[in-house]
Amino acid sequence: MPPLTPPPDAHPRAPKLGVPAGAVDTHIHLFGPASHYPFHPDSKYVSQDILPEHAIALQDTLGLGLSIVVSGGGYGRSYQHLADVLRRFPDRFRGVALLPEHVSKDEIAMLDRLGVRGARFVSPQHGAHFPLLSSSDLLERVVAAGWHVQFYPHRTDLPNFKDQLLSLGTDIVLDHFAHIPAEGGVSQPAFRCLLEMLDSGRVWVKLSGPMRCTAEEPPYPRVTPLAQALVRHAPDRLVWGSDWPHVNMSGRTMPNDGDLIDLLLDWAPDEIARHKILVDNPRKLYRLT
């Protein structure tokens, strides 16, 4: 039996940040009810029920208007749970899917109508059972649908995928600061590669999951120079995500989500830049009307 991932902080506090109307959390995961959606046998974790209603309560506390539900590894490459959430709550969520290898064009069109806007792929270092960039037929169908490719690199391996990602002919979204280790700083080759990719005008970066880039405790101070450098370099190509409910945090301090969004006060001190990151950029990326 895989380990039970610890639950998120049950008492998120209202942020100090004046969250602008229409702000979007671009990275959350949902699970359950377990009686209807069992975890995939290969999942590295199981979770208590983390339901849409819980996420909506978090939205209301943080002052957010919408969240992007990203298919996590818990359900493997099934999109059923995501599709059902989007059917039930079309005004509060959009989605990014982990797709089965042989998903049809008709299935992708159905998911698009429900609000899915991208497909998630990962570095093989995160697990070969997830969609990989070597899945050329799947990538072709995703690009043909007008979706973006959300890619999760592994630590310093982003340069290995740079050319392929930029050749795809669609927008690229990199998870969690491109998973670049914060201890390497802004001069490390992987971070310089990230800045070069942003200059293409087709790459976006999620200011999300700082705990995925460092083993530090909150407020993850080594991540701050990376975030500030990204904001200076390409404020029009950044979005923010909470990564709630913060799976696989056993043995670590569970962050409070009010504190997480308040990190933007240090990461993006300029209010105009924060408005882009929280409102304008996600509206463009996820085709929000």
Token digits for 184? 């390497």
Q: What is the signed CA dihedral for 111, 59, 50, 101, rounded to 10 degrees?
A: 20
Dist CA 181 CA 154 (whole Å) = 9
pLDDT band at 223 (very low <50, low <70, confident <90, very high): very high
What number is the average pLDDT over the span 203-218? 98
Dist CA 101 CA 96 (whole Å) = 15
In terms of Cβ atoms closer than 10 Å to its own Cβ (0-12, 13-18, 19+), residue 150 is buried
What is the predicted pLDDT for the residue at 246? Answer: 98
pLDDT band at 7 (very low <50, low <70, confident <90, very high): very high
- Asked if 243 is an active-site residue, the reply is yes
Dist CA 5 CA 74 (whole Å) = 11
pLDDT band at 15 (very low <50, low <70, confident <90, very high): very high
What number is the average pLDDT over the span 41-56? 95
What is the predicted pLDDT for the residue at 280? Answer: 98
Q: Is 2 helix (H, G, I), strand (E, B) or coil?
A: coil
What is the predicted pLDDT for the residue at 13? Answer: 97
Q: DSSP characters for 160-200?
A: HHHHHHHTSSS-EEESGGGG--GGG-TTSHHHHHHHHHHTT
pLDDT tens track for 154-209:
999 999 999 999 999 999 999 999 999 999 999 999 999 999 999 999 999 999 99
pLDDT at 266 over 90: yes
pLDDT at 49 over 80: yes
What is the predicted pLDDT for the residue at 128? Answer: 72
Contact in structure between 73 and 121 (CB atoms under 8 Å) = no
Please, where are the H alpha helices in 11-152?
52-62, 80-88, 105-114, 136-144
What is the predicted pLDDT for the residue at 130? Answer: 87
At residue 140, what is the residue type?
E
Token digits for 12? 């998120």
Dist CA 223 CA 184 (whole Å) = 10
Q: CA torsion sign, 247 to 249 to 254 to 255?
A: negative
What is the predicted pLDDT for the residue at 129? Answer: 76
pLDDT at 152 over 80: yes
What number is the average pLDDT over the span 269-282? 98
First to last CA, the chain: 43
Q: Is 239 helix (H, G, I), strand (E, B) or coil?
A: strand
pLDDT at 32 over 90: yes
Q: Which of 25, 243, 257, 262 is catalytic?
A: 243
pLDDT tens track for 103-130:
999 999 999 999 999 999 999 988 777 8
Dist CA 99 CA 110 (whole Å) = 13
pLDDT at 40 over 80: yes
Residue entry with tokens 């995939």: 40
Question: Please, what is the average pLDDT of the chain?
Answer: 97
Q: DSSP characters for 244-287?
A: BT--S-TTSPPPPHHHHHHTHHHH--SHHHHHIIIIIHHHHHTT
pTM: 0.97
